[in-house]
Amino acid sequence: MNDYRNFLSEILIDEETLQQRVIELGEEISRDYRGKEGLLLVCILRGGITFMVDLMRRIDVPHMMDCMAISSYGAGNFESTGNVRVTYDLQTNIADKNVLIVEDIVDSGRTISHVLEMLQTRRPASLKICALLDKAERREADVPIDYRGFVIPDKYVFGYGLDLDEHYRNLPFVAVVDLEKYKP
Ligand code: 5GP
């Protein structure tokens, strides 16, 4: 694989800024869920993993966690169609739980809106969304984001869980790819 510096356009959110925001989100979530029973964090694989792992360590109220994987089919490399299929389902019964979905990025909003619709049928006590990144100007589906890390411009990003052809998820910052220079 190519060294990411060959196609890095800019570092959009550096490590320190990311970690500071994760602390703030953890505090906010802890405050809102204090005294409530059955908080379940649901990580959307695979992009949400890095954020989830950092965030859960900043949440100081009792909670459980589970994961689900979604695949968006019929999509091009840099687009999602919102034709969503669950490829790995939750192992937890979410009925009467306070469910908080932890997602890396909301772009058109189609993916998360489908997940919301599906999880709602399982009758959770509450269902909210925590998204690290919000490409607000690209929104097509009306999705309520309850906890938002950063609003970002319409640029394709990678790092901190977000991939380019399944690579570079390990980078501790969020960077913009220069698509002219990127060759998978
Ligand atoms: P949506 O359904 O909201 O259009 O797309 C959401 C999914 O598309 C995200 O969970 C993510 O997998 C992918 N995605 C959207 N924008 C980006 C981006 O800038 N970089 C990466 N790596 N994935 C993205």
**Helix 15-33 vs helix 49-56: crossing angle, to nearest 10:** 60
In a mutational test of the pocket of ligand 1, which residue from 4, 80, 101, 108 has the highest number of ligand atoms less than 8 Å from its CB?
A: 80
**What's residue 184's pLDDT?**
80
Verify whether ligand 1 is closer than 6 Å to residue 160 (CB atom): no
The CATH architecture annotation of domain 4-73+95-177 reads: 3-Layer(aba) Sandwich (3.40)
Q: What is the pLDDT along the chain (184 residues), one digit of tens a residue?
A: 689 999 999 999 999 999 999 999 999 999 999 999 999 999 999 999 999 999 999 999 999 999 999 987 655 555 665 578 899 999 999 999 999 999 999 999 999 999 999 999 999 999 999 999 999 999 999 999 999 999 999 999 999 999 999 999 999 999 999 999 998 8
Task: Give CA–CA dist 42/1, Å, rounded.
Answer: 31
For the chain, how many residues are written?
A: 184
Domain ranges for the chain, please list them: 4-73+95-177
Identify any residues that bridge with 103 across adjacent strands, giving them in sequence order: 131
pTM confidence score? 0.94
